[in-house]
Amino acid sequence: MFARFRRRYLDVLGSIYIYNEHRGYTSIDRVLEAVQAHCPDDAAFIAAIHKHRADERKHYVMFRRWFDLQGRMPLAVDRACGHIDRFVEIVFGSTIDDLDTKAVIASEALFERLCRVIMLTEMRGMRQVDTLLKSPLVRSDPVLVRIFRIIERDEPSHWQPYRDWLVRTGRPQAKRSERLVDLWVHRELLFVKLPLLFPNPWLPRRTDWADAGEPEVRRPQPRARTA
């Protein structure tokens, strides 16, 4: 009985994480467009966003391999389980896909708000990883522990660049309303969405990977040694 509970819990947890990691790196492409247009001379900020995207992609691949090792696909969760999805929908009144990137670029207030939303989301993610690494259920899976250790190491560099930009430009790091939305979205996922997913026997699994059709990232090949 406990083994079934453990397997289901980790299955749901992994499915939510792999969705959010994929959503993260694909959404950052639009954030990068906004940052490059809004802060074209801020090379350090732009480089940090590139790293953020690369890390999110790396995390997605790690969860994909975790599912591969178990011989099953992730559960088919959608944006209802996405922290950044819900945050953007509430704060901007639009889904991520429908968010007007040009309007964000043109508006100081919208760009500032976007930076705060990403910063708060990543800070929430960092705190959640700390909690999960203390969980006996997570710690029972050595591969999953290694994945979360890597995320734990990467996470500070994901929110600090946005915090630093807000500080450099003399803007508030977070408004009370935004902190309340962040807390609401987190508790909604933890106490409503997760409990509904957990016992649902009709929840299907994905039939393909979220990154199917995306261009493969080619790694540089090592140079052949010369005699």
Report pTM.
Answer: 0.91
Mean pLDDT of 143-170: 96
For 20, which DSSP code? H
How confident is the model over 190-215, as pLDDT tens digits? 888 888 888 888 999 999 999 998 87
Residue 120 is predicted with a pLDDT of 96
Scanning 39-107, the segments in alpha helix (DSSP H) are 43-70, 83-92, 101-106
List the domain boundaries for the chain: 2-197
For residues 137-165, average pLDDT: 97
To which H or E segment does residue 188 belong? helix 176-188
- Angle (nearest 5°) at CA 99 between 60 and 95: 65
Q: What three-state secondary structure class fits 75? A: strand
Determine how many CB atoms are found less than 10 A away from the CB of residue 120.
Answer: 27
Tell me: the pLDDT tens digits for 14-38? 999 999 999 999 999 989 999 999 8
- Looking at every residue in the chain, the average pLDDT score rounds to 91
**In the block, residue with structure tokens 């950044």:** 84
The confidence score (pLDDT) of residue 216 equals 61
pLDDT tens readout for residues 51-70: 999 999 999 999 999 999 99
> What topology is assigned to 2-197 in CATH?
Ribonucleotide Reductase, subunit A (1.10.620)
What is the model's pLDDT at position 156?
96
CA distances from 145 to 11, 124, 148, 158, 187 (A): 14, 19, 5, 20, 23
Residue with tokens 């700390």: 130
CA–CA distance, 49 with 53 (Å, rounded to integer): 6
How far CA 154 is from CA of 67, 139, 159, in Å, comes to: 21, 19, 10
Percent of the chain with pLDDT over 70: 95
CA dihedral 10, 14, 20, 23 (to 10 degrees): -160
